[in-house]
Amino acid sequence: MTITRNGPDLARVVVADARHLEALMSIMRVGFDPHYGEAWSTAQLAGTLTLDGSFARQAVDANDNIQGFTLSRVVAGEAELLLVAVDPQLRQRGIGRLLVTQVADDVRRFGASAMFLEVRENNVAARQLYRSLGFADVGRRANYYTGSSGERFAAITMRRIVLD
């Protein structure tokens, strides 16, 4: 099912589920800087996809090749954006914005009133993307992430109200 399209030869966002595990993992493997260890394993992703309220979306090109994905979960009226990643070769073309915008539309339909996420404090691209889509900083957890050399990074909790 096609949900959204951002141009004739750009990405469209479609549903992803357990059948697309390998495609999602192909972006997972290249989409996260190994220094921060934020990529999930196949087992983690597969397990989360089976949880109540969890859902994934993928951006695909005209040939249905995956360009990026999101993983989210709605629990008790609140949504959490767990992961978003775009193929490094395809960044800064609007795919990340398209994917996160689609999540906001989805969670509204699922009845969530707010959407939360956690992002590493020094993840400039992601924080800028979220800010540009109306997310605001609402919390900070010191030493939440650990880099491969042992250095620690804070997590910023961001929130966007999705229902008026």
Ligand X SMILES: CC(C)(COP(=O)(O)OP(=O)(O)OC[C@H]1O[C@@H](n2cnc3c(N)ncnc32)[C@H](O)[C@@H]1OP(=O)(O)O)[C@@H](O)C(=O)NCCC(=O)NCCS
User: Under the criterion CB under 6 A, does residue 6 sit at the interface with ligand X?
Assistant: no
Identify which of residues 92 and 149 has a Cβ nearer to ligand X in the complex.
Answer: 92
Burial class (CB in 10 A: 0-12, 13-18, 19+), 46: middle
User: Under the criterion CB under 6 A, does residue 155 sit at the interface with ligand X?
Assistant: no
Contacting ligand X within 49-108 (CB under 6 A): 83-86, 91-97
Q: Which one of 130, 144, 145, 151 is the catalytic residue? A: 130
Which letter does DSSP use for residue 133 in this model? T
User: How many CB atoms sit inside 10 A of residue 70's CB?
Assistant: 25
Strands lying side by side in the sheet with 54-60 = 2-5, 12-16, 54-60, 66-75, 78-86, 114-120, 152-161, 136-146
Q: Which one of 118, 121, 145, 151 is the catalytic residue? A: 118
Contacting ligand X within 7-46 (CB under 6 A): 31-32
Identify which of residues 111 and 146 has a Cβ nearer to ligand X in the complex.
Answer: 146
How many whole angstroms separate alpha carbon 55 and alpha carbon 49? 6
- Say whether 38 is catalytic: no
- Between the alpha carbon of residue 51 and those of residues 54, 96, 111, 120, the distances in Å are 6, 24, 17, 25
How near is the Cβ of 118 to ligand X at its closest, in Å?
Answer: 8
How near is the Cβ of 100 to ligand X at its closest, in Å?
Answer: 8
Identify which of residues 17 and 35 has a Cβ nearer to ligand X in the complex.
Answer: 35
Q: Which residues bind ligand X (CB under 6 A)?
A: 31-32, 83-86, 91-97, 119, 123-126, 128-129, 132
Catalytic residues: 118, 130
